[in-house]
């Protein structure tokens, strides 16, 4: 049911952005260039805005650059060369860097204010990275592991929803979001490890 929901969302979104991607390719931009632009913009905006506690502005600006992720995959499929191994590795690596930048910038701001939420955020940072690591390690062992409750899209929704509400002044929004992110990421790690265990 859940994969069907993802596909039902992805198909109309792809139809909308495909003309834009074709236009960007005609301008000489590549999928890898879009990946780099999105990642650099996301990292810089996260450090500058989240690090200084401007959560609402940070949420919208970071979201804008994260949306580049929608473009690079479609551009790779539309290009003559198609998706490459290097492009896939670059995109995945930059995604991890962008996500880490957002969480670390929030951690920096919380540390400056001696916030009790900091340990939960550290758990969220480690668990989020483990979600990606377990999948990569499993697939390197020949075990398909594209499963889990909180994949990157879900983690970003939880994170940016909580920071956006925090920017609007909603009480405890960040705390609820960070706890949810940490627990959901840990649960996803366990789900993926269970897949590998069953395959063995």
Using pLDDT thresholds of 50, 70 and 90, give the confidence band for residue 9.
very low
What is the assigned CATH class of domain 1-90? mainly alpha
Using alpha carbons, select from 56, 64, 48 the residue that is nearest to residue 166: 56
Distances (CA, A) of 21 to 57, 61, 62, 63, 198: 26, 21, 20, 18, 40
- Percent of the chain exceeding pLDDT 70 equals 90
> What's the CATH number for 116-200?
1.20.120.1760
Domain boundaries, the chain: 1-90, 116-200
- How long is the chain? 200
Kindly tell me the burial class for residue 56, based on how many C-beta atoms sit within 10 Å of its own C-beta (0-12, 13-18, 19 or more). Answer: middle
**Catalytically annotated residue among 69, 95, 99, 115:** 95
CA neighbor of 35 nearest in space, from 61, 68, 13, 63: 68
Higher-pLDDT residue of 61, 27: 61
Q: Is 69 a catalytic residue?
A: no
Buried-state track 146-183, b at ≥16 Cβ within 10 A, e below 16: eebebbbebbbebbbebbbbbbeeeeebbbbbbbbbbb
pLDDT digits (tens, 9 = 90+) for 129-147: 999 999 988 888 888 888 8
pLDDT digits (tens, 9 = 90+) for 99-110: 999 999 999 998
pLDDT tier at 80 (50, 70, 90 boundaries)? low
């Amino acid at each position: 049911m859940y994969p069907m929901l993802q596909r039902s969302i992805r198909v109309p979104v792809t139809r909308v952005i495909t003309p834009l991607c074709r236009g960007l390719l005609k301008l000489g931009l590549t999928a890898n260039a879009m990946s780099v632009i999105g990642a650099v913009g996301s990292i810089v905006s996260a450090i500058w805005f989240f690090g200084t506690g401007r959560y609402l502005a940070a949420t919208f600006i970071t979201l804008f650059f994260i949306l580049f992720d929608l473009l690079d995959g479609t551009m790779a499929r539309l290009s003559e060369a198609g998706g490459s191994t290097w492009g896939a590795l670059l995109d995945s690596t930059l995604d991890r860097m962008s996500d880490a930048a957002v969480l670390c910038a929030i951690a920096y701001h919380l540390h400056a204010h001696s916030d009790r939420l900091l340990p939960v955020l550290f758990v969220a940072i480690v668990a989020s990275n483990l979600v990606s690591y377990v999948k990569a390690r499993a697939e390197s062992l020949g075990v398909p592991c594209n499963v889990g409750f909180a994949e990157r899209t879900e983690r970003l929704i939880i994170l940016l929803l909580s920071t956006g509400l925090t920017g609007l002044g909603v009480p405890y929004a960040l705390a609820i979001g960070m706890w949810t992110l940490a627990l959901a990421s840990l649960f996803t790690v366990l789900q993926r490890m269970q897949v590998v265990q069953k395959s063995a």
